[in-house]
Amino acid sequence: MKSAWNDADAKEAIARYGKAGIGADLALRVYTTRLLGRDPQLVLHGGGNTSVKTRVTDLNGEETDVLCVKGSGWDMATIDPPGMPAVRLDALKRLRARKAMSDDEMVRVQRANLIDPASPNPSVETLLHAFVPHKFVDHTHSAAVLGLIDQPDGPARAREVYGDRMGLVPYILPGFGLAKKSAEAFDADPSVEGLILEKHGIFTFGADAREAYERMIAMVTRAEEYLARGRKAVFVSAQLPQQVATQTDIAPILRGACALPDAKTEGAWKRFVLDFRSGAAVLNFVNGADVSRYSQAGVITPDHTIRTKNWPLIAPAPRAGREADFRAQVRDAVATFVKHYEDYFARNNARVGGDRIMLDPAPRVILVPGLGLFGLGTSKKDARVAADLAEAAVDAITAAEATGRFESISEADMFDCEYWPLEQAKLGSAKPLPLAGQVAVITGAGGAIGAATAKAFAQAGAEVALLDRDLTAAQAKAKAIGGAALAVPCDVTDAASVAKAFEAVAAHFGGVDILVSNAGAAWQGKIGEVDESVLRQSFELNFFAHQKMAQGAVKIMRAQGTGGCLLFNVSKQAVNPGPNFGPYGLPKAATLFLVRQYALDYGADGIRANAVNADRIRSGLLTDDFIKARSQARGLTEKDYMSGNLLGREVTAEDVAQAFLHQALELKTTADITTVDGGNIAAALR
């Protein structure tokens, strides 16, 4: 591992933050924190922390000594000065004289001594940073250091690698107790350059930001070099099928097997989004004949438990062409996993007094021999976090097994950390959005109605895939939505393009829960005079494309086994045909009945089918030129033409999007056609 320190960049950070009134100490603290945070071999997703002891002016205008420490949950890779709350240092140092302190009291004392009351909570390891006298203190969860110390003889190995340069601290849950133990280890030899915390990570110290940072790099490098010397072959491979099923074939099966039925609402599920990882290191790990031992031994550092749980689910190796067998085997494996988790919770909850409330028992990491691993989360972001941490575990456990034998903390310690309120607080307590964990596919998403629908579904918590023949338009709309919104090229009239699009969605998110089949175009002409090719062209887009999309979605939904929702954009032409619109209205009428047929044929699978019947929406169908021509032909202003309905209100793409969203949320509604036109009795269904 090499130092990324750059004098020019350090000076630039001082100058840039200085313009905002930030001193050089904090500017360099932020600079080196980012250097550490951007290296996934050191920290991941809110892990690790850093601090600097400096002086600031408080709200009374008085200069005071403070500890600026990383705020709880902030990401070191992107941190800025607001993520380093300043706490009065003398107040923190006096706490060392205490014999004991509860977590709640520790948090209250730290918050009571914030310079800015609006600052985020300081790190749970704030007191450790305060009790060590060095100006700059860095802490990471280096994969190499964890590979070195996560072994039965980890302390001896650490002593062999570092000699007297690093102090050793036995495992203890973070907080006041760990801070005291670490301070005692430092006092035993104040010459140490840092501390190795058993089963937890590494701290380094320095008089300036560069010294603390480069000591971290140096100490991690020593661990890497030790692990590389005399490294034996790792993980004899198990016997695997000659042909393994593909990621896109099994992802929906895994996703459905891990979904949890909602005990309060019939037909509702807690679903998970997936994130897939593979590669030589991952395959070496998941293919190991002894994977049921080393993968189930526990977490590499307690900080991971709230994101990955304490062990992954091991799936059977999926044979190509035997997906039905795989589905049954996976469901058995998940049931076993859930029972194991429930028993683990019951044992340990009784041990601590029985006052904990069990988290959901679903796995957050799945190992699939022959294929790779999946991270699971209620959003794509959370799934990526789980997958990133799982890959870090692969690296650390592989390193430990290559030089000895991996050993985690005890089950009791894992439980105490998983159900530790200060760790749970990192996840937040906000009520989940109604479509959290669900994946919605929207066609024609580069247009007005499709884009508005994708935005509405994303705001409701869904992960959205925006399909459009015009990929550039879909990408622009996806970028505007942000998050994990995915743009996928798709010609909905082409079966191969549709199949490829669904494969892309399944590969990215793991499956599909909602289809909004929206793409369409309006062909005109008197029905008795229109060329047959025009009629066939309209049927391809306005009927058969809906059928292709619905078939692809249903295939995935049935593999998942958690129901789903098919939503179609039909038109008022389907029930109230207008003159010269037969080429458009006829396939739309067929699509209206297609909706009801899907509702009839797949209701037993929990798959709902509904449609929105909209009229006069500014979109690719109803262009500005078309609106102008129609208005002039009727002797109306454009405003009067667009609001020519019973309510006298123009209907927008956003109104249609809200109708689709309503149908997606109504778990006991199917075969419904919702009219969104401001009121047109002639188009009302009866």
- H-helix or E-strand containing 15? helix 7-18
| DSSP state, residue 123 | P
Nearest-angstrom CA–CA distance, 32 and 2: 14
Nearest-angstrom CA–CA distance, 24 and 55: 11
Q: 478 Cβ partners below 8 Å, 6+ apart?
A: 445, 454, 464, 466, 485, 486, 487
72-75: long-range contacts (C-beta < 8 A, 24 or more apart)? 72/120, 72/121, 72/122, 72/123, 72/124, 72/422, 72/425, 72/426, 73/46, 73/120, 73/426, 74/46, 74/120, 75/37, 75/45, 75/46
| DSSP state, residue 172 | -
CB 613 within 8 A of CB 623: no
Measured between alpha carbons, how far apart are the two ends of the chain, in Å? 72
State the residue for tokens 């739309």.
Answer: 588
Marked catalytic residue, from 341, 584, 598, 641: 584
Nearest-angstrom CA–CA distance, 199 and 178: 13
Nearest to 276 by CA among 392, 385, 373, 393: 373
Question: Is residue 67 helix, strand or coil?
Answer: strand
Nearest to 73 by CA among 424, 344, 371, 387: 424
Q: Which tokens go with 534? A: 């025009």
* Strands 63-69 vs 86-88: parallel, antiparallel or unpaired: antiparallel
Burial-class residue 154 by CB neighbours within 10 Å (0-12, 13-18, 19+): buried
Q: Which tokens go with 227? A: 């692990």
| DSSP state, residue 19 | T
Nearest to 612 by CA among 563, 649, 565, 647: 565
CA atoms within 13 A on the CB side of 296: 11
State the residue for tokens 């010397």.
Answer: 229
Nearest-angstrom CA–CA distance, 150 and 331: 32
Q: Is 344 a catalytic residue?
A: no
Nearest-angstrom CA–CA distance, 292 and 297: 9
Beta bridge partner(s), residue 674:
612
CB 514 within 8 A of CB 465: no
Nearest-angstrom CA–CA distance, 612 and 453: 12
CB 309 within 8 A of CB 389: no
Q: 508 Cβ partners below 8 Å, 6+ apart?
A: 380, 465, 486
Q: Looking at the annotation, which residues are catalytic?
A: 584
